[in-house]
Amino acid sequence: MIELGKNAPAFKLLNQDGKQVELKDFAGQPVILYFYPKDMTSGCTQEACDFRDSIQAFNALKAVVLGVSADSVERHRKFADKYELNFDLLSDESKEMLENYGVWKEKSMYGKKYMGIERTTIIIDSAGKISRVFSKVKVPGHIAAVQEALKELK
């Protein structure tokens, strides 16, 4: 599991356009990594649209928003197009980044256990350190909490 104050694990993934994105691309600015279970599902769509609708506020705080799931680049492209998302969605089909950030976990639904992504948002400060971890995120009100945490970085 990642720890507050430690260096954020490096990553190199493809976005919805098939372009490589690395953590080091954002050196010197805060990064909001939000991990979500699956494109096109109700909670994940609401969360993505909430980030989309608040992108100007995040830009004003000089922060970058990156959504991450195990969905394919092609599925991310469809999701981004359908909801006019204005930030990158990163594809981690290998689940390496998901494991490095501690969000690939055993989950349970109707008594059945399975592995999946725990909805989590991680804020990485401009020095590349883990600043805040929001675990088991509930979508309503989450954007305001992320914005508050970013303001505290200043």
pTM of the model: 0.94
Tokens matching residue 51: 């980030």
Nearest to 96 by CA among 7, 3, 4, 14: 14
Asked whether residue 22 is assigned to any structural domain, the reply reads: no
pLDDT by position in tens, the chain (length 154): 688 999 999 999 999 999 999 999 999 999 999 999 999 999 999 999 999 999 999 999 999 999 999 999 999 999 999 999 999 999 999 999 999 999 999 888 888 998 999 999 999 999 999 999 999 999 889 999 999 999 888 6
CATH code for the domain of 129: 3.40.30.10
Asked whether residue 34 is assigned to any structural domain, the reply reads: yes
Asked whether residue 64 is assigned to any structural domain, the reply reads: yes
Asked whether residue 16 is assigned to any structural domain, the reply reads: no
Roughly what angle, to the nearest 10 degrees, separates helices 42-53 and 142-153? 40
- The residue segments making up the domain with residue 54 are 28-153
Catalytic residues: 44
Report how many domains make up the chain. Answer: 1
Asked whether residue 89 is assigned to any structural domain, the reply reads: yes
